[in-house]
Chains A and B, each alone.
Chain A
Amino acid sequence: MAILTYREALNRAMTEEMEKDPSIYLMGEEVGHYQGAYKVSQGMLDKFGEERVIDTPISENGFAGIGVGSAMVGLRPIIEFMTWNFSLVAIDQIINSAAKMNYMSGGQFPMPIVFRGAGGAGGRLGAQHSQAFESWYAHCPGLKVVCPATPKDAYGLLKSSIRDNNPTIFIESEVLYGSKGEVPEQEYTIPLGLGEIKRKGTDITLVTWSRALGFAEEAAAILEKEGISVEIVDLRSLRPLDENLIYESVKKTNRAVVVEEGWPVAGFGAQIAYLIQKNAFAYLDHPVERVTQMDVPMSYAANLERMSLPNATRVADTIREMLQ
């Protein structure tokens, strides 16, 4: 096993896929000569040349549209948004074009495109640069939504996303780029829609994805010392969703908390809470709880940013209350 960063794992996944399939290209702002705003595409321009690692002007709507159009005629674009905050000016192309093309053409135009880039909150970037948008995209049928939390998952899920014939929203966590983890040397993929039990436990189920996995793991470690056994379900992709994995865990633990980086109102955690009460109601000893970002834009001030984001303390407190 090699130890790779999340960023290196993504780079390796893209590089290997592009070596195999000449119809794949990477496009976005600063992906080439600058080597990627977050260096995810480091070295790829040298390897694949300007024809396949393509720098764009700042025009998210335009190059998202270029990606969709080219996918209509058989190319397999990877479109990088420098961060998902800027995808909002391209959301028309993602939702009105990419997500709908196959459906409204009666199955004539599959859409093998990956939109990827950094999401969530970074270190004190303020309101316009600290947002978790997976709930927005998960809302929309026709899209797949993938949110890896570890280098190993990032590699396997990105490869599957690139090979998928559907538009995939691949949200990388900005704060995880430098995080390290074991990545098997030989090639593998992780099917979209397959979650993973990241930690086994018996008293409560934490459902989470992406960066929030870290908060969950930290809380589980704290609670273990208090004799509370926490099971952690990492969904890895929100669409498709590994529903059964959640229910199986809840059947065992009888309690569930969703931990997510996004806002609470109409967030994806609300959907999970609904699904659990609908499909595992008989097993519940407590209403499903959620730990989310606060219902405010992100503040720049260090203390307020800290307070805004979910964290292990809040997760642990919520669990203690539920077990009382």
Chain B
Amino acid sequence: MNRPFVHPYIPNTAPDVRAEMLDTVGAASVEDFYADVPADLRLGRDLDLPEPLVAEQDLARHVSGLLARNVPTTERLSFLGQGTYHHHVPAVVDEVIGRSEFLTAYAGEPYEDHGRFQALWQYQSLMGELLSMDVVNVPTYDGFQATATGLAMAGRITGRRRVLVASDVLPAKLSKVRDYVRVHLDLEFVDPVEGTADVAAIVARLGDDVAAIWVETPSRTGAVEHRLQALADAAHAVGAILVVGTDPVGYGVLTPPAEQGADIVCGDIQSLGLHQWYGGAHGGFIAVHDDPRFVMEMPSRLFGLATTDVPGEVGFGDVAYDRTSFAHREEGKEWVGTAAALWGIAAGVHLALMGPQGMRELGEVLLARTAYAQRALGAIPGIRLTDRAVHLREFAIDVAGAGLTASGIVTALRAEGIEPGVPAGEHELVVCVTETTSQADIDRLAAAVTGLVAASAAEAASTLDPIAEPEEHRA
């Protein structure tokens, strides 16, 4: 340990400087500054923490050593999704968000942080093009929060409590939404049919006390909702709002929900230029039409274009800075705080690189690979697809007919270096493919599952069925 304690992160631990500063402020020691902290609240001992690694090389070795125990998806064959997806991240995206100017800035103003305002306004605009909507927020935490807020907005706008949930929702997302809105909203589940909304059942449940229909597309199992317009029409007929939770990755090729009557579109931007980060890189978008009733209920910041004193100069500022002056509802607008701005900048760079053609190609690759994987796995005896909907990236297989369990498949294939998917119940496995999953990868998964099914069938054949066997024949 260095004595006296001088730390590279803390310049004023230099003893002479410290002494000079104490002298300047007329303090005998730093103890003077803590006069308001009562003696009986003082810790009075050193914190019990691990011995520090003050030399940078020692720290690097320790942390890298811990991380070295991870085996990433680049070293495994991964079919994992369920909220976090493995898409290709262009190098330019990481280059831009790695810049100190963006990485280490925070809550500056449009004047000295003009770049951030423009980058985030562009993110809003690029998302707006993708979603065909005129208003998109500066990102909130993640798609869970975005959807929870979108539903809360619907409640505030309509003054109603009932929400009809039309799709299968990720359990963790549902858990968040439920706890977030439960004081204000009651969720009612209408079971999907063949993976997508049961429109007739929803229409039957609609009334003038319904705040919103909540659709997730792609659903928990990757099913793409194809009757949004019918749901929108039914909702609007009773003054309810259509809230669509979605992943924007497919809208280079799929019709965006806004063009099918959606009022509030929300979701996660992790698929747009963010690495998986062990589930630690998410951002939430909320998009609405340019209607003050909706805009005024948005808690997040919204950046807008502005003129300056110089003709032709592009300026920015906060739109609807006071989000309550038009408000007709008494509820506050939740809150706004540190959320996911850097990820928003990344998603913007990603969309700019992809362009219309790139997003279209990506959507097509995803649809094609998903369909191919469905065929490959669905063709295995005893394995069936759970529904006939169009799927994007994810789909579920039912493995009961093969005498297998979902967790059994996971355990068995992990031994072969494959993460085959995520169990959703005893016999259901949700499989995910992206543009990073090649035909060969899918074939390898299908072969491995085929092997398991064969082994399971062989095992079943070699085991005498105790029920089918008459009692007197037992030894």
- A and B pair up: no
* Chain B contacts to A: CB under 8 angstroms: none
* Chain A contacts to B: CB under 8 angstroms: none
